[in-house]
Structure 1
Amino acid sequence: MTNLDPRSMIAMAGFMSAVMAVVMLFMRRHYPPSIRGVGAWAVAPLLWLVSTALFGARGFVPAWLSLVVANQLLVLGSLIYYMGTRHFLGHAFDWRFWGWVMAGSTAVFVVLTYAYPSYSMRVGFFAVLMGSIYAAQLRFMLQHGDRSFPVRLVEVVLAAHTLILAVRLISLVIGKGGSDLMEPSLFQSLYIGAYVLMVLMLSIGAVLMATDRLRTELEHLATHDSLTNTLNRRALLECCEDELERARRYGQGPAIMMVDLDNFKAVNDTRGHQHGDAVLVHFAERTRQALRRADRLGRYGGEEFLVLLPGSDSGAAQVVAERIHAALATGHALDCEVSIGLTSWTGPHETLDAMLARADAALYRAKHEGRNRTVVE
């Protein structure tokens, strides 16, 4: 390790940054815009790449480039990465505060480079500054991130590098921090090596977070109706089959409601399909509010919906049906009337086809008897 050239390790960090920037830019171009933050994650390694190039050119370019600008690009890249993380998790980034931090830190680096040149003070200030940024992002992710592996990976990398910066700060205090970044010492090699690993792992963490979000969105699209955001027919029938299997094991089955919007064709014909779509969305939102957490609502076809009520007998299901009728009669401009056909589980011999047939027959009776009512079969 002592024979490793710091410039070579810095060049390696630049190479890692370049590779990950290309990967993130490709993702930014091809991933859906609903996955926010990918653009910032792509910019961050580009800034780190320029920073490492300036660090590696120390002694060949002016100090304001290799010391002031190089350090500030590293800081800015970390802030941009933090911004991407906040956007990814649905939060804004306060550039007013961090902009002042950037301006103040630039002034400090200028002073410690020209007015009071000091390697140890410059490195110490950099360690405190970067540690603060990492700590802010780590705190944010612990508060707002989920427990998925990609999020935990980034959290571990941030915590580990914050610890490394703290050790580096302690080494400066006890006079073991070295006298120049380019000195070929074991300590400097370890520190630069940790930076190379941090650049790689943070970028990999961003790629994994974005990919995990894409997988979640694709799964959602595959199982949900794009207009009403309810389950689609295939996913809903799978839920029904699962619930019937559970009922055979535990002896307590579900109820099923077939719900149809009354006179919906007339709404489309007189008000237009766009208004009809708005009515469907409003119906789905109001109906979800009337259901329990375990209940499932899905679009069965057109203006017909299916409600699965796990562990509910006919009486409990009728109470839910009354709540749906009440939720759609509040006077909202998009309120509608619905007919409901209801049936419940009859025993271990029950099949989904039989329950659907009874619910459909009950719905037909509700329509025949005057609509805007619930009929139990």
Structure 2
Amino acid sequence: MPIPIDLRTVTLIAVITVGLMAVVQFSVYRGFPRFIRGLGAWALGSAVLFVAGCLLMLRSYLPEWASLVGGNAMLLVGFCLWLFGIQAFYGRPLRWRLLCALVVAGSAGIAWWSLVQPDYMARLACITFVLSVFYGAQLVLVVRHGQRHFNTWFLAVALVIQLLIVAVRCVTALLPDRVAETDLYAVTPFQIAYLASYSMTALILTVGFIMAATCRLQTELEQRSSIDPLTGLLNRRAFACVHERQRAAAARSGLPIALLLVDLDQFKSINDHYGHSVGDQVLLDFCRSAANAIPPDTPLARIGGEEFAILLTGVDMASAHAQAEAVRCAILHHVGPGIPPYTCSIGVAGTGGADCTLDALMLVADKALYAAKKDGRNRVKTAQVGEYKPQPVPQALATAEPAYAAAPPA
């Protein structure tokens, strides 16, 4: 014996679910940092959908213009706000004019087929068509711009299921031999699936969106904990992790590792004379110039105020010194617009094998860097791990560039 289904109860469950999800969304919006965008629009959309559901539930006690027209119009507004939330979440332009025009057109159609020329199926086709557009647009955004992660696919699958239900309901409302139903709560297979889906829509889609937002937050926090906020380079912590990975790989293949420790000369004088904003521009200019002077994918990190580190794998001391000279000359020969001339000193630490900690490399490179500063700046000094006395510069490179050709004013 088939179990009787009360669609009013189903609708009530859907309305309560939407209200609870609105509370959850507002809580998430208040708790998440502001760089996770779109949560506010999604929470507001859920609140509007809750009001819309209440108006539709009270159709027996309210005039039709308030219940049918107002409730369905707010339904469109709520789903439009969800789409705004997805657009903001993925950093896409808000097509608010187009979407608002679609909401107005859908609301006008609902008003016409509710008050002027009552036709339930035409009204149903109108609203499901607009909802299909909203769901389809969200699905495109999620698939095109979402992270390739389980959370994204969960949200995408939920959107696909809801889009299919709404689209099928729209098509069946337009069929010539459509089912003769004139009431929202007519117990037909299509109507049961159509209304029952809303009981899960708010729950599944909201959970999917929160999962995607949580994944985004985790990724952002991991990146921010590993990236220097000014230069966008690795910070010291992330650089240490990269060194451990490359050290293990180099140990398996027996390749040496070299560390370049770079310090901008008289950087305090630049800050004192030109201001810290210009000093920041100098740091950014160095990052661009140094990145262009080293091989692609070479780890480059900011480990202090004006101190940077470069990690080289599989190079001997002569090659490491040549790479350091390439960085020094790139800085010496390039000055960006509005940036005062500046130079850098570099200490190079090398090891014959990969079995050397980052602290040991840093200690030796720092000794070599100190020697470069002591000898007049704008030069490169090298030292082997186990030796604190810097090695002499190779004769071929000793006369490559004049020392400290363009010093900034003190």
Give yes or no for TM over 0.5.
yes
2:209 is aligned with 1:206: yes
Is the CA contact 2:291–2:300 (under 8 Å) kept in the aligned structure 1?
yes
CA distance in 2, matches of 1:327, 1:42: 50
2:267 is aligned with 1:264: yes
Is the CA contact 1:290–1:320 (under 8 Å) kept in the aligned structure 2?
no
Alpha-carbon distance change, 347 to 131 in structure 1, aligned in 2, over 3 angstroms: same
2:67 is aligned with 1:63: no
Give the 5 Å matches for 1:82-121: 82-121=83-122
Following superposition, the deviation at residue 120 of structure 1 comes to: 1.3
5+ residue gaps, structure 2: 384-410
2:282 is aligned with 1:276: no
CA distance in 1, matches of 2:210, 2:360: 47
Following superposition, the deviation at residue 291 of structure 1 comes to: 4.3
Following superposition, the deviation at residue 272 of structure 1 comes to: 4.0
Alpha-carbon distance change, 25 to 286 in structure 1, aligned in 2, over 3 angstroms: farther
Of 326-335 and 58-67, more deviation after overlay is shown by: 326-335
Is the CA contact 2:18–2:203 (under 8 Å) kept in the aligned structure 1?
yes
SS of the residue aligned with 1:341?
strand
Alpha-carbon distance change, 21 to 285 in structure 1, aligned in 2, over 3 angstroms: farther
CA distance in 2, matches of 1:321, 1:167: 68
Is the CA contact 2:243–2:358 (under 8 Å) kept in the aligned structure 1?
yes
The letter for the 1-side match of 2:153 is: R
TM-score, length of structure 1 as denominator length: 0.90
Aligned to 1:322: 326
Aligned to 1:356: 362
CA distance in 1, matches of 2:142, 2:170: 25
Aligned to 1:240: 243
TM-score, length of structure 2 as denominator length: 0.84
Following superposition, the deviation at residue 373 of structure 1 comes to: 2.6
Following superposition, the deviation at residue 351 of structure 1 comes to: 3.8
Question: What count of residue pairs does the alignment treat as equivalent?
Answer: 377
SS of the residue aligned with 2:376?
coil
Aligned to 2:48: 47
Alpha-carbon distance change, 337 to 123 in structure 1, aligned in 2, over 3 angstroms: same
Provide, for residues 198-247 of structure 1, a one-character-per-residue CA deviation record: whole Å limited to 9, x for no partner.
11111112211222222222222322333333322222122212211111
Is the CA contact 1:243–1:310 (under 8 Å) kept in the aligned structure 2?
yes
CA distance in 2, matches of 1:27, 1:253: 49
CA distance in 2, matches of 1:122, 1:254: 71
Structure with more relative contact order (C-alpha pairs < 8 Å, separation 6 or more): 1
Of 360-369 and 160-169, more deviation after overlay is shown by: 360-369
Is the CA contact 1:10–1:55 (under 8 Å) kept in the aligned structure 2?
no
The letter for the 2-side match of 1:204 is: V
Q: CA RMSD in A?
A: 2.5
2:224 is aligned with 1:221: yes
Aligned to 1:21: 22
CA distance in 1, matches of 2:332, 2:303: 19
Alpha-carbon distance change, 314 to 67 in structure 1, aligned in 2, over 3 angstroms: farther
Alpha-carbon distance change, 18 to 325 in structure 1, aligned in 2, over 3 angstroms: farther
Alpha-carbon distance change, 107 to 363 in structure 1, aligned in 2, over 3 angstroms: same
5+ residue gaps, structure 1: none
CA distance in 2, matches of 1:289, 1:244: 24
Alpha-carbon distance change, 96 to 355 in structure 1, aligned in 2, over 3 angstroms: same
Provide, for residues 133-189 of structure 1, a one-character-per-residue CA deviation record: whole Å limited to 9, x for no partner.
211221222222221222222211111111112322343324237431123445423
SS of the residue aligned with 1:213?
helix
Alpha-carbon distance change, 348 to 217 in structure 1, aligned in 2, over 3 angstroms: closer
2:242 is aligned with 1:250: no
2:335 is aligned with 1:334: no
Following superposition, the deviation at residue 353 of structure 1 comes to: 3.6
SS of the residue aligned with 1:210?
helix
Is the CA contact 1:343–1:358 (under 8 Å) kept in the aligned structure 2?
yes
Is the CA contact 1:260–1:304 (under 8 Å) kept in the aligned structure 2?
yes
CA distance in 1, matches of 2:289, 2:5: 66
Is the CA contact 1:255–1:312 (under 8 Å) kept in the aligned structure 2?
yes
Alpha-carbon distance change, 10 to 320 in structure 1, aligned in 2, over 3 angstroms: farther
Following superposition, the deviation at residue 316 of structure 1 comes to: 5.2
Following superposition, the deviation at residue 258 of structure 1 comes to: 0.3
Of 367-376 and 147-156, more deviation after overlay is shown by: 367-376
Of 361-370 and 156-165, more deviation after overlay is shown by: 361-370
Alpha-carbon distance change, 127 to 310 in structure 1, aligned in 2, over 3 angstroms: farther
Aligned to 1:192: 195
**Percent same amino acid among aligned pairs?**
34
CA distance in 1, matches of 2:15, 2:198: 11
The letter for the 2-side match of 1:363 is: L
SS of the residue aligned with 2:303?
strand
CA distance in 1, matches of 2:328, 2:113: 69
The letter for the 1-side match of 2:203 is: L
CA distance in 2, matches of 1:106, 1:316: 71
Aligned to 2:408: none
Is the CA contact 1:225–1:232 (under 8 Å) kept in the aligned structure 2?
yes
Following superposition, the deviation at residue 194 of structure 1 comes to: 1.0
